[in-house]
Each structure stands twice: as C-alpha cells, then as structure tokens.
Structure 1
Amino acid sequence: MATGSRAPVVVGSRAVVTAQPVDGAQDVPPEGAVRVAVAQGRLVSVRLADGKGVEVPGAIAGDGASWVPDGALPLGTAFTLDSVAEDEQGQKAAQHSEFTTVARAHTFVAFFTPEDGSTVGVGMPVSLRFSRPIVDRAAVERAVQVSADPPVVVAAHWFGNQRVDFRPQQYWAAGTRVAVALRLKDVQGAPGEFGSQNRDVRFTVGRAQVSTVDLEAHTLTVRAGAGGKVVRVLKVSAGSAEHSTYRGVMVVSEKYQVTRMNSQTVGMGDEYDIKDVPHAMRLTASGTFVHGNYWANPGVFGSANTSHGCIGLADAKGGTGRDTPAGWLFEHTVPGDVVEVKGVSGDVVPPSNGLNGWNLSWEQWLAGSALR
C-alpha cells in the first residue's frame, strides 16, 4: 500500500493591523489623521514615505500597540504606509495602504514686528499678526520660538485671535540679540486653515533709552544707559482735560519725518487736519504720538496741556531741523524706545493698543499664553 504525505497546515498570524486613514483616502488633513494600531500583537516596523521614498519619522509606542508620525505631513503629497506586526508566536502580519494629503487649503501667514535685521529699543516686543483668525492658538504658539542672547525667559500673550506678542519679564538688556523662528508651514491654525511660512527673523536691541513724561510738570525726561542717566529734559504740551493723554508704558512703533494727522481718522470729527506734522513718533495704534508742533503758541510748552491727546514739542515746519526739541528727540529715538507717561488723571493705555503689553504684570502676561 502506497503511503502519501499530508500538506502542512498554515496558521496565520493572530496580530491584526489597522491603519488610518483607509487605503485610497484623499484630502487627508496633515495633522492627527495618520495612525497605525495592532491588536493581539506588537508592531515591528512602520514606514510612511512619499512618492520619492522620503520617509516620515514616527514613533512606536512603548507597548508596541500603536504608531504615529512625529509631526504634520506636507500638503498635497501622496504617501504609502507599510506596517508589520507579529503575534506571540512570532508570526508576522503586514498591512499596506496609500493616501494623499489635502492638496489645497486656506492658508495663513504671520506679519511680524520688528523687521528682520533691525536695531530696536529695549521695549520692543516680538509681535505677530495673523492674516486669518487662529482657533488652535496652542499649536501656533508651539510653532514660534523666540530666543535671546544673553538668555532670558520669553513668554507669549495673545491679544484676541489674530495677534500674539512675546516679551521678557523686564525690558531687554542693551545689546541683546533676539532670534525668532517661525515654523508655521502646515500648522493647522483653524479647521482647514494651514500656515505657509518657515522663516527666521533676527534683530538686535541697541542702547537703552527710557523717557518719562510728567503730565503735571509738562516735561519729557530722556534717560539712557543701564543707570538711567538723564540726557535731556524737554518741555511738552500734552492732552487737555477734554482729550487727556494715555498714562502708562508706551513703546515707539513707527517714526515719520512728516505725516498728516486728521481728526476724522481717530473719531474726533472735524477737530483738526494737519497735513505736515513734523517728527512724529507713534505710541498707540489709536493715534497717540510724540511729535513736533510748529502751530501752537510757544508758551504752552512746559506750562499747559492743550493737545487732543498727543505729546507735543516745539518744532519748525518741514521736519528737517535737528536743533529743535522735537527734532533732537526724533534723531535720538529708535522704534522700541520706551516712553513712560505719568500723571494724576487720564486712562491707562490698553495693553493691546500699540506695542504696549508692558502695562500687564508678568503674572497677567503669562496667563495670556495658550500653553500655560
């Protein structure tokens, strides 16, 4: 009697691998949508790669049960996802899928202050204004790194959903070099809204200059250097009782040798329209300036507050002179210089009105971070 042979029994792996998104998926979001999991086994390897074979780094969990990529995936890219797992007997199970990330999405960018390569005063924050409203503030905040040399702790504070500022606890030290790393590309700021920037911005803090305006004494005292040595005391005329000047810490954000000031743009009707205001230095977004004044009676400087809220100094028409009080201050001021306004009456400037977050305590500032 002839004897035969029985075919071997093939036992498959008990490991079950599942992957997200499903095979063939289109318009996959770049963050949070890709994941590999295994039941009754452990992952041995996972390879996520684009069409050119460039692999996306990721990490298998400590228990071997799952894998996720390390960060966001590029937009409009086709990927292959190959996973291998094994069960308790060492039997392997493989899974293959393909998908494509969303090809086109609404994008947002950050407009930054100060400018790259600039030299600024000790009060200049890093201020980012976004082109679209941000919902996931934590994700966007994590994508921005601000570092200083010499090192100092720098923290973020959100003013609404389209602006975030960064500053240290105290004014920057003179000579500090600040680096801003914007890594916003493909960061999801809101559903369907992705950043489009990877940019490095660097600026230097110049000499220290902090000026103090005394509304009652009608003076502006300029102090410079680490010890705050008085450099010059200038006579001013600030806001009248009907149009008081903001009190508090304000930072010069812009300078204009000559500019037009029209009361209609600040909600004051037809009060004034001066087409050639000289030596103007902006303190608030709402229109508070330190500027030259050639039209007022010279006797008001140092003796009376007569303006519509700005801080005026004696000047000549044209904005070209350097020997007038306003001309001298203009020549000795850079964006980021601090003007501290003190008085017994008048509102304190809102921190979001201009680059004036210094009016918040450090505890209040930290409370405005999405990561704290």
Structure 2
Amino acid sequence: MKGRVFRSAVRRLVAAVAAVVLVATACTTAGGDPGGPGGEEAPGPGITVTPGTGAAPVAPNTPVRVEASGGTITDVRVEQVAADAIAEAGGAGEAGAEGQEFPGTLSGDGTRWKSDRNLTPGASVSVYATAEDAGGEETEVVAEFHTEGVDGDSRLGLVSNHPQSGQTVGVGMPVVVGFDVPVENKVQVENSIEVTSEHPVEGAWNWVDDETAVFRPREYWEPRQKVSVDLRLAGVEASEGVYGTEDDRIDFEVGRELVATMHVPDHELEVEIDGELVRTIPVSNGKGHERFNTTTSGTHVTMEKYAELVMDSATVGIPEGSPGHYRLDVDWAVRTSDSGEFTHAAPWNGGIGHANTSNGCTNMSVRDARWFHDQALMGDILETTGTGRELEWDNGWGFWQRSWKEWLKHSETGEPQVTDGSGTPGSVHGEGL
C-alpha cells in the first residue's frame, strides 16, 4: 500500500558532508541491539537503513530502504546535497535550497519503507529515520552516503518536448518527449515520468525510436483542463552508466474541442467545435495517381501552422528534376503529417469543392484556409476517410491510428498510467532493486 509522503528539505549542508568518512558498510543500524554497559539491550526499536553510512558511491537508481524491528516507522526524511551546491558554498556553510518531497511507500504493518524516487547523481545523501515501539520508546537513525557522479557523455537530457509549458492545445494532443541519448531502460524512464490531469484518464507511453517517447490518453482529452508532466529524470538510468541529472516539468492546457472530418470523395470538410457544426469548407484533395499525391486516411493531429510557407517536394523525397516535383509559396498552412500534408489556401485550384487535383494536401479558398488556420490549435483532430492510403501511426502525430489495446501493448510497462496523481505503474529503480 502507499504510505505517507514524508517532507524532505533539500538542504545544502556542506559542513555535515565534510564530516562523512567513507568506509565499505552496507547499512546503518541502531536501537534494540546489545551494546550498552554489561551488554544490556538499548531501549527502543531497531532501525536498519540501506544504503548505510559510508557506503561506497551508490548508483543513483538504488532505492533507499528503511526497516524497523520491535516497532513501526514513524518518519523518514531524505536530504540531498548536489556536488555543485558544495562548490558554490565554497566547501562550508549552507548553500540554501527550497524543500522538496521525497516520497516512499510504507508497508501495511509499518515496518518497511522504500523510496519511490531515484537519487540525484553526485550528491551527498542523509537519511533520517525514526521508529517507535509499543511502549512509546523512540529511535532515530541518520545514514549518510554519496551517490555516483556522471560526466557529460553519460547524461540523459531533453532536446525537445511538445507541447511546451504555457501552451493551449487541442484534445488530441500527445506528449512527445525527445531525449539527447538513446534509451535502453525504457521501463525505468516511463515510470519516471508522471502525467497528471484535472480530468483523470488512462494513458500510456510508446516509443517512436530509442530517443522519442510519446504519451497518449486512451481517448481524447476532456476539453478545458490543465495537464502537467513531471519528468523525474534525476537518477534514472537510461542505459548502463548513463543517468539523468535534472528533473523537469511541463504544464499545459487543453482548450476547446475542435474535430474536423473529411470524406475525400465528397470534396468538403466539416468543422465541429465542442460538438457543434460551425463550418463546412469546400476542399480539393490529392489526385491519387501515385502514393505521394494520395491524401492519407486516418486520424490526423494538427502539428504546426504558418501564415506563409514554401512547400518544396524535395523535403519529402521528391527532388528537383524528378517526376512530381513542386515548389510553391502557400498561405495559411496547417500541418497534419510528416509526409507533406497540410491544409492551405490554393487560389489557383479550380477544382475546390468538386474535384481532387492537389499533390496530397487539402486545398481551400483563401478565406476558408485563413479561417481554419486562425481556429486551429496544435493537437486538434482531422479525421479523414475515403482514400487508398492509410496514415502510418508514426507519420507526424498519427498516434491515434493505434487502437488503445495496441497502444497499451506497445508500452514498455504494459500497464496504463492513470493521470490522477497516484503515480506510475512500476518502479523507477533498476531491475531487481
């Protein structure tokens, strides 16, 4: 069962760190052991903390464990001082830091506690554990040790994330996280990232490649709510010897619900906002003579938009001089895939509303294209049917192309994450720890 979350003040106590003598001990114990005068048993319960004082440099993804004998655990605090804080403080005094929570799980009988977070690499760690027996006798133990540091080539960090904090997005918006090194231990990383929403749902992570993870809810987000993504990467082991060093957080909002639908043979696109049809737009889609000029069928997610854009087929594998090459200046463009599909203005297209003559994009009048561009948020939905080419799940943000059953199957944890703040499906620590 989940125990209480104990408050931890992450104080930078350099003087205390300097007093630690490193010896190879596995744990710290106190209370309930013979050792007083005449071999009498010391009062109060016994406590064991692992890792213990003086333990050799500890891998950051090692869990902190506290066990009590002859009593129950009443408090555990974990304090960490990063190496850079020691340097900033000049080797003494208090460098200063705001308190942070370091949560753990307490067993049902109150005798065992295990941390739910990884430790910060290159940090001095102090664990304060208190237990009490049936007679009210109390024991406190302090264990102090260091975690292994990492160098620049052994760090996991972020290179991109969508959405970004402060953005308002559509109901189909995935959370897309790009890392700067390949991730082998995907289960640990998935379990180190918690998504929380005001309207809780089931969701899960999939990996586009070893450096890109995507979170998607089971169904579209409920509109008009706040969502947060806590990336607790400090201490997570991405691959052997490669650890995250910093936590991060993304806070975004889901706006109104915009869903556009288009049956390509009908030459029109219908736009609903919050379930109400607000506009029917005449369109012209791909000619469909070749794969490259066939509009894809499936659930598209709007990715970005431009008031002006140069569309060059060379960017999607059709270079100048090749059959089908084009280079066009277009206005009011909204991207819906990575294979070159946009909605955009096409005043030159005389087939809008009655014929499909484009190179695969959804052509509109200038007036309609500007309206759609102005309405669109990143993460809105465009559902397209009626063509012979299916949108690939990893083409742009085509992640809704996978059913929920298939999406969950491809999650490394194999279990859903509920976005109610209850945590992630499994352990953030190394396998078997």
TM-score of the pair, normalised by structure 1: 0.75
Match of 1:238 in 2: 286
Indicate the residue corresponding to 2:195 in structure 1. Answer: 146
Closer, same or farther: CA 109–346 of 1 in aligned 2, 3 Å: same
Give the structure 1 partner of residue 370 of structure 2: 327
1:230 Cα deviation after fit: 4.8
* Residue number in structure 1 paired with 2:398: 356
Alpha carbons 1:214, 1:341 under 8 Å: kept: yes
What residue identity is the alignment partner of 1:240? G
Shift of residue 212 of structure 1? 1.6
In 2, Cα distance between equivalents of 1:250 and 1:194: 33
| 1:188–1:235 CA distance, 2 compared to 1 (3 A) | same
* Residue 250 of structure 1, CA deviation: 0.3
Task: Provide, for residues 69-128 of structure 1, a one-character-per-residue CA deviation record: whole Å limited to 9, x for no partner.
Answer: 55322221234679999xxxxxxxxx9986421222412226321222222222222222
Q: Given the alignment of the two structures, is residue 25 of structure 1 paired with residue 56 of structure 2, yes or no? A: yes
Letter of the 1:238 partner, please give it.
Answer: G
Displacement of 1:283 in angstroms is: 0.6
| SS of equivalent to 1:302 | coil
Identity of aligned residues (%): 30
The one-letter code sitting in structure 2 at the alignment partner of 1:309 is G
Answer whether contact 1:237 1:300 (CA < 8 A) is retained: no
For 2:310, which of 236, 248, 260 is the aligned residue? 260
Is 1:299 aligned to 2:350, yes or no? yes
Give the equivalent residue in structure 2 for 1:100: 146
CA distance in 1, matches of 2:161, 2:360: 28
Q: Relative to structure 1, is the Cα distance of residues 81 and 241 closer, same or farther in structure 2, using a 3 angstrom cutoff?
A: same
- Aligned-pair CA distance for 1:269: 2.1
* Corresponding residue for residue 88 of structure 1: none
Of the three residues 333, 340, 346, the one matched with 1:287 is 340
Checking the alignment, whether the CA contact within 8 Å between 1:238 and 1:311 is kept in structure 2 is yes
Q: Structure 1 residues 120, 42: CA separation in 2 closer, same or farther (over 3 Å shift)?
A: same
Q: Which runs of 5+ in 2 are unaligned?
A: 1-36, 82-93, 132-140, 416-433
For 1:59-74, list aligned pairs within 5 A. 69-74=115-120
| One of 239, 247, 250 as aligned partner of 2:300 | 250
Q: Contact 1:189 / 1:195 at 8 angstroms: preserved in 2?
A: no
Match of residue 136 from structure 1: 185
- For these two proteins, the number of residue pairs brought into alignment is 341
Alpha-carbon distance between aligned partners in 1 of 2:77 and 2:259, rounded to the nearest angstrom: 57
What corresponds to 1:165 in structure 2?
Answer: 214
Distance 1:183 1:57, change over 3 A: closer
Secondary structure of 2:188's aligned partner: helix
- Check if 1:229 corresponds to 2:297: no
Distance 2:51 2:375 in 1: 61
1:78 and 2:128 correspond? no
RMSD: 3.8
Cα pair 1:237 1:313 within 8 Å, conserved: no
Q: How do 1:156-235 and structure 2 match up within 5 A?
A: 156-160=204-208, 161-191=210-240, 192-206=242-256, 208-226=257-275, 228-235=276-283
- What's the secondary structure of 1:364's corresponding residue? helix
1:146 Cα shift?
2.1
Contact 2:49–2:143 under 8 Å retained in 1: no
1:358 counterpart letter in structure 2? W
Residues 79 and 43 from structure 1, CA distance in 2 versus in 1: closer, same or farther, beyond 3 angstroms? farther
Distance 1:178 1:50 in 2: 28
CA contact (8 A) 1:239 1:309 kept: yes
Whose Rg is larger? 1
Report if the CA contact (8 A) 1:109-1:196 is conserved.
Answer: no
- Please give the alpha-carbon distance, in whole angstroms, between the structure 1 residues aligned to 2:206 and 2:266: 36
Residues 298 and 390, structure 2, Cα contact 8 Å, conserved in 1? yes
- In the alignment, the residues of structure 2 paired with residue 338 and residue 264 of structure 1 have an alpha-carbon distance, to the nearest angstrom, of 27
